[in-house]
Amino acid sequence: MSGRKRVGVLISGRGSNLSALIEACKSDLYPAEIVSVISNRPNAPGLEHARKAGIEATCVDHTGYGTREDFEAALDAALRTASVELVANAGFMRILTEFFVSRWRDRQLNIHPSLLPAFKGLDTHERALEAGVAISGATVHFVRTEMDSGPIIAQAAVPVMVDDTPDSLAARVLEAEHKLYPHALALVASGAVRIEDERVVFDRASAPEAALFWPPLEVPSS
């Protein structure tokens, strides 16, 4: 498929969501292709996974730079050398400064394991269980300088079970992430979404209006 958007994926670890994106990009009908995978950690397992998939994979080690801006300048240069058009953070454990965010504004995506704006930051599943929420989930959003903020592109809702642990909830949310991230990237790469007044706008004409209930609505038995 010609005209596919060139995507650079940023990782810090095993690249679980990277694998889902690689799989989605195998289809000729998918509107994006991964042309570069970059990790800030040289031993990130996701680098080898990318290489096995035939994708250029490199490390820009943040510990080798004196300032965050110097690191981000090198990261930016690596992406531009690969002619990247969209950036997808997939377990990239660095908080980015205005220097980098502004250069990739509205072209950089991130995925977070909660229904933002709830439970930003770390330990999301522990905090969700402590709060007693009935529904958790995952969010893909455009990156802004504030952590886990920015216009929301897509979300997936995941029920919280009564016997859930942080690990069991995390596994269920991660399964949803692997479907959500390719979907959200496709929306952006295809031009199906745009940003107006810091909100993502797209055609909602076919979106179901029915509410999701958990636990499901049932007629109480007498």
pLDDT digits (tens, 9 = 90+) for 130-146: 999 999 999 999 999 99
Residue at 88 is within a domain: yes
**Average pLDDT for the chain:** 94
Burial code (b: 16+ CB inside 10 Å, e: under 16) for 23-57 equals ebbeeeebbbbbbbbbbbbeebebbebbeebebeb
Question: Looking at the predicted structure, is the pLDDT value of residue 1 above 50?
Answer: no
Which residues are the active-site residues?
112
Comparing 30 with 205, the larger pLDDT belongs to 30
Residue at 198 is within a domain: no
Residue at 125 is within a domain: yes
Residue at 68 is within a domain: yes
Residue at 204 is within a domain: no
Domain span at residue 46 reads 5-192
Question: Looking at the predicted structure, is the pLDDT value of residue 222 above 60?
Answer: no
Q: What are phi and psi of 103, to 5 degrees?
A: -70, -30
Count: domains in the chain: 1
Provide the pLDDT for residue 206.
57
Residue at 221 is within a domain: no
- The CATH number covering residue 102 comes to 3.40.50.170
Residue at 37 is within a domain: yes
pLDDT digits (tens, 9 = 90+) for 79-104: 999 999 999 999 999 999 999 999 99
Residue at 212 is within a domain: no
Question: Looking at the predicted structure, is the pLDDT value of residue 158 above 90?
Answer: yes
